[in-house]
Structure 1
Amino acid sequence: MPTIKTPILPTHPQHVKVRAPHELDKKAICIFAATSYFLGTDTYWKDEKVLPSGTINTIDHEGYWVDSKPWFEWYYKPRDISFDQAVSEFTELFHAICKEQAGNRNVLLPLSGGLDSRTQAVAYSKLNNPVTSYSYSFHNGYKEGAIARQIANELGYEYRDMTIKPGYLWNKVDELAKLLNYGTEFTHPRQMAVIDEFRKMEGVFTLGHWGDVLFNSVAPNDLAEEDAEEWILKKIIVKGGQELAEALWKEWELEGEFMEYLRQRTKEIWSGLKIDDVGAKARAYYSSTRAVRWTNLGFAIFKATNPIEAPYYDDRMAEFICGVPEEYLADRKIQIAYLKNQSPDVAKITWQAQRPYNLYDYHKNESPHNLPYRIMDKAKRVINAKLGKPYIQRNWELQFLGMENDEKLQERIFGENLHPFLPKELITRFYNKFKTDDMVKYSHPLSMLLTLAVWYDNEVRG
């Protein structure tokens, strides 16, 4: 019988059929509503699953998934190496992966003000690849492109600046839904706003996703094993998500309690990780769940226009991480040292997460050193708001705010009778809470209801 081997961090989910009733997996959908991604091998349907990462899977002659065995399991066995040796090994490995993935092709590089894409940018400058870089910023938001442009100019790369404009979602929502396979909410993948620009490019997208998890602390240093499961629950449930999930659970008359079911599912995954160090275990948890059921879904938008590669998703990177002492991975130490070693001038450019500081002085980003910047930044926002240019920080603000957006949203969630899947009363309740109660809290439930409505309309009702 044929087998399918999945990577440690797959760049796309592989859906397979199993022998089960063709029924909605409503419990799985409730977890999806709470967290914005499916857990484990779950999908919308009981007879459809996603192959687990790092496994060898047997498919029978009728095309059904019948068996799965791990070829890789996350572990933590820190080697007795110095920090400088860890940085040296990362440098050699990262350059090798980048070169193998890109070959001699033109690199299409999304540049941000952070460290992951900056690390890639420096790597390709050492490998002499031609690079077309770009960045995008929210309309009336922080101009992230200003930092990206500095990096590109320093390295001699072509640079393109793009703006994520209000309301882009509505004429692209069906295309986006299919690209994401309805596996996450639609308001986060802002790259969909510039997909037509991507189609004009030629080369290979090299994406820096997941570097910020692999090369940073995931859990607090003092997190104890006995507290870890509750900490995980707090981290994965999006604001407003539990309320929506519990409402759906009650509406669908599911047995038991939602939180008990979610707690059981997360406990199974957590306890299945045979790692003693809580920090390394938390990274492994996220990497075996969120990375493979949420983060990688956005790759499909890039892949619809050009080939893609993802250096941090390479199997060798995961193996490397499992052998590096946790203290070296914390606080982005390895990436920061790499950038200082390989390109001091790029390291001197503002680090967005620590603005206005860079990789040499970000330790000063605390009071009283950062007070002048914080005061000036707030003053600019207040002035712009008075001028009718409210500061945009979140993608949903471009999709849900304003009369035109509201009309399009209502067409999607109220335009068709979604009962009994999504009763109108339930949709109305969360829509009104978004409009009158707390927009930040209820933006996620509203976005999830939009996702579920589009999926049901397109895939069930057809």
Structure 2
Amino acid sequence: MKPRIRLVATRDGVRAEGDKEARIGHALGGDPLAEGPPPEGIFAAWTWDGERLLARNDRYGIHPLYYRADAGSLTLSPDPLALLRPGEIAELDHDALAVFIRLGFFLGEDTAFAAIRALAPAATLTWTPDGPEIQSPALPVPGPANLSRTQAVDGFVELFRAAVARRLPAESYILPLSGGRDSRHILLELCRQGAPPRLCVSSAKFPPDPGADARVAAALAERLGLPHRTLAPPRSEFHAERVANPAQGMGTLNGAWTLSLLAFLRRNSALWYDGVGGGELVQNPSIELIRKNPYDVTDLPGLADRLLAAGRTGARVEYLLGPRTRTLWSRERALARLVRELARHADAAFPLGSFFFWNRTRRSIALATFALGDGNAVIHTPYLDHALVDHLASVPHRFLIDGTFHDQALHKAYPEHAGLGFASAVPQRHGPVLVGHRLAYLARLLGHTLHSEPDWWRGHDQVLRRLLAAGRGPGAPQRVSRLQPLALYLLQLESLAAGRTT
């Protein structure tokens, strides 16, 4: 169970329930509760001394920490669902959900629940019976530095080496390894510094993934003379997502495929390395979308509209919305909320890269590691080294927009491995296997509803009926395939908001 504290001001003083002190994650070389800038590392912490609560988090707000400030009370936990009271009818944050159902992640400090907020990056929260006070600096979004391409690449190589050197393992460890760039860079640098893992481990993913991730990772491990193991994904994507959604605080639609991998790491290694931040900061996975939709501060509504159209569900989401939710979670509300967030990144060297880092990375991608992962493990995140992030965030837009920046750094630092490609170059597999997988998902969803969640069929917003109706007409298989995970999420959310467990 994740730590939680609830403070309630009464006539007789403050009643404290739960954990009066908690230190979650790993602060590197400093006290997470000390005054001044946050130390290196990804963490959240609080302490209650009987008169005053003090809570702080890491520089990027990567480690989840949520608070609920009601009249005369404060509740704090890394699990936002722990802030819901048993049997409570919880009000939803409709602006936040209008964005989430289209993009698949929350913005800023939004959550699905109106009363619950994520703690902002590098924040200091204090609470006394007089109420809460939160101090948080503005997002560090530096403008472009005066660098040549060579200087930008060399700076990345050297600062990454320094970041890993600050995080060398003090014990034997297992390294999660994919077929992508981020974990490859971590592995090659650890080996260069004489600290290889005892085992590299990869996890297969759900269809339509072609399996290239594990194959490329195995080839790299073999080159380095390291043992490698590939884990099977969870047997049922539906059941994995049913577990992962609430375990990640209803904060993302991603992460379910990592359950097998994280369970293996929890059993076998007290030290991990994670590549979180590498993609968004260095070689953005959405670079094609960014090229087609350049950031234009004079037309943020137009940009926001295009991002919503290209989001996880795009226009398909309208099939799941009824008369009530079509108003509460309208595209207009999503547009207004997204424009406000995009405006915060206008001065960044790479505005859309900054937007995705502070929102998708922080509020969605990081949850697999820091919500589903082991709170007792030391999890090193070298891409989030402060000096390295400062450098990467100031690399001029023109050096990142071609989508080769990380490749250049890897080839320069480790030329002997330049010939080994990446899993992203292998196309996804479609056809009968994928069709069968999606039909199995739908069958399990319907079966679970019939046997365990009859309220899902009778639900206020008729999500399940609308999902089945989306299976009619041209494009039905692709439409239902995209909508099934969101439909499950909305069914679970409706139960939680009504005070029922899922």
Q: Is 2:410 aligned against 1:339?
A: yes
Q: Which has the higher helix share?
A: 1
User: Which of 138, 148, 157 lines up with 1:82 in the alignment?
Assistant: 148
Q: Distance in 2 between matches of 1:350 and 1:303?
A: 31
| 1:360 alignment partner in structure 2 | none
User: Which of 347, 367, 374 lines up with 1:275 in the alignment?
Assistant: 347
Q: Distance in 1 between matches of 2:323 and 2:133?
A: 33
Q: Which range moved further: 229-238 or 320-329?
A: 229-238
3-state secondary structure, aligned to 1:289: helix
Q: Which amino acid aligns with 2:336?
A: Q
Q: Distance in 1 between matches of 2:299 and 2:326?
A: 31
3-state secondary structure, aligned to 2:141: coil
* Displacement after TM superposition at 1:36 (Å): 1.8
Q: Which amino acid aligns with 1:266?
A: L
* Correspondences of 1:36-47 after superposition (within 5 Å): 36-47=104-115
Aligned CA distance change for structure 1 residues 27 and 12 (closer, same or farther; 3 Å)? same
* Correspondences of 1:127-146 after superposition (within 5 Å): 127-131=193-197, 132-138=199-205, 141-144=209-212, 145-146=214-215
* Correspondences of 1:110-125 after superposition (within 5 Å): 110-125=176-191
Aligned CA distance change for structure 1 residues 75 and 105 (closer, same or farther; 3 Å)? same
Aligned CA distance change for structure 1 residues 178 and 262 (closer, same or farther; 3 Å)? closer
| 1:303 alignment partner in structure 2 | 374
| 2:216 alignment partner in structure 1 | 147
Task: Please say if residues 43 and 49 of structure 1, whose CA atoms lie closer than 8 Å, have aligned partners that are also in contact.
Answer: yes
* Displacement after TM superposition at 1:124 (Å): 0.8
Aligned CA distance change for structure 1 residues 275 and 137 (closer, same or farther; 3 Å)? same
How does the TM-score come out when normalised to structure 2? 0.73
Aligned CA distance change for structure 1 residues 154 and 270 (closer, same or farther; 3 Å)? same
* Displacement after TM superposition at 1:126 (Å): 1.2
Query: How many residue pairs are counted as aligned between the two chains?
Result: 419
CA deviations over 1:408-460 (Å, ceiling 9, x no partner): 21134563214886433x42122331476523233333212212323444672
| 1:374 alignment partner in structure 2 | none
| 1:406 alignment partner in structure 2 | 442
Q: Is 2:123 aligned against 1:56?
A: yes
Q: Which amino acid aligns with 1:250?
A: P
User: Which of 430, 435, 456 lines up with 2:467 in the alignment?
Assistant: 430
Q: Is 2:492 aligned against 1:441?
A: no
Aligned CA distance change for structure 1 residues 215 and 457 (closer, same or farther; 3 Å)? same
Q: Distance in 1 between matches of 2:306 and 2:376?
A: 36
Aligned CA distance change for structure 1 residues 435 and 336 (closer, same or farther; 3 Å)? same
| 1:231 alignment partner in structure 2 | 303
Q: Distance in 2 between matches of 1:221 and 1:150?
A: 34
Q: Is 2:258 aligned against 1:191?
A: yes
Which sections of structure 1, spanning at least 5 residues, go unmatched? 356-376
Q: Is 2:282 aligned against 1:211?
A: no
Aligned CA distance change for structure 1 residues 327 and 28 (closer, same or farther; 3 Å)? closer
CA deviations over 1:174-199 (Å, ceiling 9, x no partner): 5423421121226x531114444333
Task: Please say if residues 137 and 163 of structure 1, whose CA atoms lie closer than 8 Å, have aligned partners that are also in contact.
Answer: yes
| 2:157 alignment partner in structure 1 | 91
* Displacement after TM superposition at 1:32 (Å): 2.2
Q: CA RMSD, aligned part only?
A: 3.4
Q: Distance in 1 between matches of 2:66 and 2:312?
A: 29
| 1:461 alignment partner in structure 2 | 500
Task: Please say if residues 293 and 303 of structure 2, whose CA atoms lie closer than 8 Å, have aligned partners that are also in contact.
Answer: no
Q: Distance in 2 between matches of 1:87 and 1:343?
A: 13
Q: Distance in 2 between matches of 1:22 and 1:138?
A: 34
Q: Distance in 2 between matches of 1:302 and 1:163?
A: 18
3-state secondary structure, aligned to 1:348: coil
* Displacement after TM superposition at 1:4 (Å): 4.0
Percentage identity across paired residues of the two chains: 18
User: Which of 13, 25, 33 lines up with 2:93 in the alignment?
Assistant: 25
* Displacement after TM superposition at 1:294 (Å): 1.0
User: Which of 355, 361, 382 lines up with 1:291 in the alignment?
Assistant: 361
3-state secondary structure, aligned to 1:161: strand
3-state secondary structure, aligned to 1:294: helix
User: Which of 66, 72, 75 lines up with 1:15 in the alignment?
Assistant: 66
How does the TM-score come out when normalised to structure 1? 0.78
Task: Please say if residues 56 and 125 of structure 2, whose CA atoms lie closer than 8 Å, have aligned partners that are also in contact.
Answer: no
